[in-house]
Amino acid sequence: MVFSTPKEDWEFNVLDIYNFNRQGKLSKYFEFIEKNHNNLDGDICEVGVYRGHSIIATGLFLRQIGSSKKIYGFDSFSGFPAYHDYDDLAFFDSLHQQGIIDSIHLEKVKLNLKYKSLFSSVESTPSNISSSGDFSSTSKELLEKKIDFFNLENIVLIDGSYSETMIIENSNERKFMAVLMDCDLYESHKIALEYTWENLTKGGYMYLDEYYSLKFPGARYAIHNFFLSRTQKPSMHEKIEGDFERWFVKK
């Protein structure tokens, strides 16, 4: 039995799938895909798949709009790799001193850490600051089960470390019209940005999930440094009241 796209919010919640039918953090991402899937070359790329919250949604969405695009999902499916010094939460202070984040952003970082400390005696680190921990609870088997459940033939999983799977010299056959960048750490962003930007079609769109973050300073630093020497710069989407800032860049 092939199951159709969920219709109600509770279905998306139970299945742990992003609900693209409601306004949310990825609304502009899905809006861009819908408006441009027929006039931009390339497929979709998601960097940092975890348990499939957004990649399953993208697969269902593409099928719903009648798109022939595929989604390439890159993940090691083994949790976080080693951390860089730039991933240390204390590096947010350095970002502020360098003018990369403003004082309001830093205040929210400090408040988030204060909230965390109220409910835990363990000091916050990159491995526990997120509600998903170090993402070691990912499961490729679970994700493949979801893919089979919805009979999504438009999802291609690329399993392995980014240093092995995102090699520019071997990527000429792969082009992207949209990229969801959600890999949290400095080194991961450094590798993934080079690869995906090289393969992003002119006019393509990249959603920067951790550009504004209260948890992962290395992501902001990697993105900032990457675009320093480039004409294109990250821009903020119109802010939804009560939500974080949501950032993107177009090529």
Percent of the chain with pLDDT over 90: 74
Mean pLDDT of the chain: 89
Whole-angstrom distance, CA of residue 25 vs CA of residue 7: 19
The helix/strand/coil state of 3 is: coil
The helix/strand/coil state of 21 is: coil
109 residue type, one letter:
V
Q: What is the pLDDT of residues 37-81, one digit of tens each?
A: 999 999 999 999 988 999 999 999 999 999 999 999 999 887 666
Q: How confident is the model at residue 239 (pLDDT cuts 50, 70, 90)?
A: confident
Whole-angstrom distance, CA of residue 49 vs CA of residue 37: 21
**DSSP 3-state percent helix, strand, coil across the chain (nearest 5):** 40, 15, 45
Asked if residue 189 has pLDDT above 50, the reply is: yes
Q: What is the structure's pLDDT at 2? A: 55
What domains sit in the chain, N to C, each tagged with a CATH number? 9-80+136-250 (3.40.50.150)
Beta-carbon contacts of residue 143 (< 8 Å; ≥ 6 apart):
49, 51, 52, 55, 56, 157
Q: How confident is the model at residue 134 (pLDDT cuts 50, 70, 90)?
A: very low
Whole-angstrom distance, CA of residue 83 vs CA of residue 81: 6
Residues 84-109, mean pLDDT to the nearest whole number: 95
120 vs 141, residue with greater confidence: 141
| DSSP secondary structure string for all residues of 34-64 | HHHTTTS-SEEEEE--TTSTTHHHHHHHHHH
Region of poorest pLDDT, from 7-11, 52-56, 113-117: 113-117
The helix/strand/coil state of 30 is: helix
Asked if residue 136 has pLDDT above 60, the reply is: no
The model carries a pTM of 0.89
Whole-angstrom distance, CA of residue 209 vs CA of residue 191: 16
Asked if residue 133 has pLDDT above 50, the reply is: no
Q: How confident is the model at residue 135 (pLDDT cuts 50, 70, 90)?
A: very low
Whole-angstrom distance, CA of residue 18 vs CA of residue 22: 9
Half-sphere exposure of 250 (CA within 13 A, CB side): 11
Pairing of strands 176-181, 155-159: unpaired
Whole-angstrom distance, CA of residue 176 vs CA of residue 77: 22
